[in-house]
Amino acid sequence: MENSLLTVDNLKTNSLFKYLSDANLQTLIKILREESYPADTAIFQENTRGDKLYLILDGKIKISKVTKYGIETVIAILGKGDFFGEMELLDDQPRSARTSSIEHTVIAGMSQQDFDTLVKTNHIIALNMLKAIVKRLRAADQTIVNELDRTVDISKQHINRLNLLIEATKSVNSTLDLDRLLEIILDTSVKSINADRGTLYLLDEAKNEIWSTALHGAEVVEIRLPVGKGLAGYVAKTGETINIPDAYNDARFNPDVDKRTGYKTHNMLCMPMRNRDGKLIGVFQLLNKKDTAFSKADEEFINALSMHASIAIENARIAREMVNNERLTAVGRMASTIIHDIKNPMGTLRVYAQVMKKKSGNEEASKLADEMITQVDRFVTMTQEILDFSRGVSATNIKEASCTEVVEGAMFFLEKDLTKRDIAIVKHLNYTGAVHIDTDKMMRVFYNIAGNAADAMPKGGTITVTTENLGSMLMIEFADTGTGMPDDVKRKIFEPFVTHGKKHGTGLGMAIVKKIVDDHNGKIEIESEMGKGTAIKIFLPL
């Protein structure tokens, strides 16, 4: 056979034919059949019948078994000069393992009949085979011991991970305060997988953003990223896990943040946080695992922690809602009592004011009477709005109105009070057309926003009111020169009972503002910077 490896020199290297003469080897060549197998090819399967002995002329093979869990365990690796397949010929039982080529391999096969003849007639071959089998048994014993040690080590690692997960679960369920809970979840995830630092982002579906908070000096600042931007944003969009073992050799990593902060990122793990329904609610971003890169075991741990963390977050949100609902119920009872108690006195004051206006004949007195009527109506309306909000009642009386007249009317009454507080109103009313709104409720929106702006300027300042036609939307902006608000307050400002920088009020003003704007199918945005003021923009459909 041309280019055949079946030569006397090759057979001399085989342990089975040690001490055989060249003449004997030349005879053996005549009964052997050469076969070739590419890499990763099965030579025979477990539980099949065997009828050949194989000699390895070149390459490597592995003998392995597959457990009932589908895990392959390698029993032996054999190379040039070894033989295999003898067990089935000796005990006449099906093959007990699978044999496959590791690399391109050339073997020579000997039939069972020829094998039986050789073993019976040549004691040297029988002795060589016995020695080889004993050697393999010793190696198999060591393989089993090594496998048992490996299994024990893996079991210990799993137990340690399980204990770590139990402790982590205890930590993330230790509080119902959402802000504190997010700190605990991040701290637990960083310590549990031996990372250096990390960020936990939550998904804001309404804004299609992910957000987190970070300590910047003495101030807590909010970080927001559009879904899809950066690695964390990509994970939020796709739900994929990104494990980068070498950040600066990975095209997906953007080193600009490192350049700005001076922090050097070596490796990174970005993973989705999902709730019990599998819905993505946030993203873990963990940096610089100490001494090595993040492993599959780290991914599995964070994935398991994610479920418990999401449940804890959900519970914290439910608890917050329950507390707010209880407080709203109490406020509603209070508002109901006030309305009941003041209905008659306020009605009487209003009638007296109307009589005074009719009988005075004095322009100044007439204006004062109008002011009294307006303030009485404003007080009753405000109390009724608090009662409606606490009960979840939502009713609007939307009609066409002049935008300029509504804004000018609100500013006319506000200016009297604001002037006393050394606050000027600057108007840029660039839209003079019609708008469909509930005038009374929108007046309440303007009063609440202007009132908060005034509270933020205890030493006086300016409120600039701007209207702009944005095509399909009308923008009404209130911009003040006040103290501004921190990001954590800005993020919660539309939640019930959130106040900042004042001792009076119910904390429902901006929550009511948001509700009214929502009822108009509009939206509201806040821009604020500490020490530079706040701008609140209302967008209403035209």
| Of residues 532, 411, 525, the one with CA closest to residue 480 | 532
Tokens of 527: 């821009």
| Of residues 436, 423, 434, 520, the one with CA closest to residue 481 | 423
Q: Which residues of the chain have pLDDT under 70?
A: 1-2, 154, 157-178, 213-222, 318-344, 346, 378-396, 488, 495-509
Q: Decide: helix, strand or coil at residue 399.
A: strand
How many Å apart are CA 272 and CA 227, to the nearest integer? Answer: 12
Q: Which domains does the chain have, with CATH numbers?
A: 8-147 (2.60.120.10), 170-317 (3.30.450.40), 394-541 (3.30.565.10)
Distances (CA, A) of 477 to 53, 176, 405, 431: 89, 36, 16, 12
pLDDT at 59: 95
Calculated CA dihedral for residues 380, 436, 450, 502, nearest 10 degrees: 60
Q: Decide: helix, strand or coil at residue 37.
A: strand
Residues ≥6 apart with Cβ < 8 Å to 384: 335, 339
Residues ≥6 apart with Cβ < 8 Å to 342: 379, 380, 383
Q: Which helix (H) or strand (E) holds 105?
A: strand 105-111
Tokens of 70: 């589908």
pLDDT at 217: 46
Tokens of 24: 């004997």
| Of residues 65, 97, 61, 66, the one with CA closest to residue 77 | 61
Q: Which residues make beta-bridge pairs with 461?
A: 423
CB 1 within 8 A of CB 15: no
Return the residue matching tokens 């059949």.
33
pLDDT at 34: 93
What amino acid occupies position 304?
Answer: A
- Give the gyration radius of the chain's Cα atoms: 41
Pairing label, strands 209-216, 197-204:
antiparallel
How many Å apart are CA 343 and CA 294, to the nearest integer? Answer: 68
How many Å apart are CA 479 and CA 288, to the nearest integer? Answer: 43
Return the residue matching tokens 């943040």.
257
Distances (CA, A) of 417 to 368, 420, 421, 459: 14, 6, 7, 14
> pTM value?
0.46
CB 270 within 8 A of CB 231: yes
pLDDT at 274: 85
Alpha helices in 30-101 (DSSP H): 86-91
What amino acid occupies position 114?
Answer: D
Distances (CA, A) of 54 to 81, 85, 290: 11, 6, 49
Return the residue matching tokens 């055949």.
4
pLDDT at 327: 57
Looking at residue 240, the DSSP 8-state letter turns out to be: -
CB 227 within 8 A of CB 237: yes
Q: For residue 394, report the phi and psi dihedrals to the nearest 5 degrees.
A: -140, 110
Tokens of 283: 């993203």
- Taking the alpha carbons at both ends of the chain, their separation in whole angstroms is 90
| Of residues 153, 159, 203, the one with CA closest to residue 306 | 203
CB 56 within 8 A of CB 79: yes
pLDDT at 215: 46
Return the residue matching tokens 């930590």.
171
How many Å apart are CA 321 and CA 57, to the nearest integer? Answer: 75
pLDDT at 103: 95
